[in-house]
Amino acid sequence: MVIDMESDKRVTDSLQVLGFSKDDLSGFAWTGFSILTLVLVVVMGVLVIVWLERKISAGIQQRIGPGYAGPLGIIQALADGVKLLFKEDIIPSKGDPWLFSIGPAMVIAPVLVGHLVIPFGHSIVLADLGTGVLFWIAASSIAPLGLLMTGYGSNNKYSFLGGLRAAAQSISYEIPLALCVLSISLLSSSLSTVDIVEAQSKYGFWGWNLWRQPIGFVAFLISSLAECERLPFDLPEAEEELVAGYQTEYSGIKFGLFYVASYLNLLASSLFATVFYLGGWNDPLIPLYSALGFGNLSSGMTDGAAEVISAAVGIIVVLAKAYLFLFVTITARWTLPRVRMDQLLDLGWKFLLPIALGNLLLTASFQLLNLSSV
């Protein structure tokens, strides 16, 4: 292997001219690698969710489900994605090509960005922001713009109505969702997702916010289902009256991006529900391990090995809790009937919003009482 010292020196000089050092370059490379790893892991999670949904729905409907593409049909979703990738991309002749093309990216990008602040362990988080909760709320509020753009750029009345429905639904349920999340932040005295998990680790299983915020958890569950446009809240793409809603004119990989964004949003909602209400990476079975004599498994290990095992256990615990939440949402899709649009808006504005606001006020009152008692 021959190292070109002159070329390396030219690269170094160019970095110095731009104001960067070699350490900065290595930092940029590590950040890019971390982002790429997160994207790949999240996309793999989407493939697992699609497979689970098909298998769970098949079980509910007493049929087999996918079983030919790979063992137990595990690569059926990947095969569908490859098929969509090679399909023709058709743009309506009288539509707006810019809005039509940018819309899917506007829908999927904020959902991907929201995964940056999800912690899988104490130090396994891509961006431990002090305002991580507000960052997620702000990022998720951009997606309705993409849905409006797709509906308007398609030059199709069904697509436009679907875009309007999606925007109205998202705005209606983002407010109660944000109020529930702010109640959790107020209870944990922090806007950081890592701090919220650590605040739940003091009393083990009984320290979860699920027991201290049961009303907020139910409101969060309903609001997240509506945000992800899952049944019984899939009004923007109701095939009975809108063909496929804002997706009607799309084909190929752009059509697939909408479904990827939907499942990405569902995965993000499940992970945030785990972080906010289910204790995050904290294992609820630790007292049981101690009672059975397995409490000090890392006692004979080096610090590095113990840290790796602790990180792996944290990731497994987070994913197990998230996929338990996903099982509930998938089961709800195949058991509950679709609501009407007026019922959807009434539920958001007349029921969930007052409940979430009252929950926030009660949480603030108890926090003030605790401060005054101290």
Report the distance separating Cα 173 and Cα 226, nearest Å: 7
pLDDT score recorded for residue 22: 59
Sign of CA dihedral 184, 190, 192, 197: negative
Question: Do 197 and 78 fall within a single domain?
Answer: no
Question: Do 159 and 282 fall within a single domain?
Answer: yes
Structure token pair of residue 87? 């399909």
137 lies in which domain range? 97-373
Question: Do 74 and 106 fall within a single domain?
Answer: no
Ranges of residues in the chain with a pLDDT under 50 are 1-5, 11, 15
Q: Crossing angle of helices 214-227/157-188, nearest 10°?
A: 150
pLDDT score recorded for residue 2: 44
Domains held by the chain: number: 2
**Residue 34's closest CA among 126, 153, 110?**
126
Using the 3D structure, point to which of 86, 116, 141 is the last residue of a domain. Answer: 86
For residue 91, being part of any structural domain is answered with: no
pLDDT score recorded for residue 279: 86
Report the distance separating Cα 157 and Cα 161, nearest Å: 6
Question: Do 331 and 191 fall within a single domain?
Answer: yes
Using the 3D structure, point to which of 61, 86, 111 is the last residue of a domain. Answer: 86
Question: Do 304 and 352 fall within a single domain?
Answer: yes
Using the 3D structure, point to which of 57, 86, 115 is the last residue of a domain. Answer: 86
* Residue pair 257/219 in contact by the 8 Å Cβ criterion: no
Question: Do 165 and 303 fall within a single domain?
Answer: yes
For residue 92, being part of any structural domain is answered with: no
Structure token pair of residue 136? 């997620």
For residue 356, being part of any structural domain is answered with: yes
pLDDT score recorded for residue 286: 63
Return all residues near 258 (Cβ < 8 A) that are at least 6 apart. Answer: 104, 107, 246, 247, 250
pTM: 0.85
Question: Do 30 and 105 fall within a single domain?
Answer: no
For residue 286, being part of any structural domain is answered with: yes
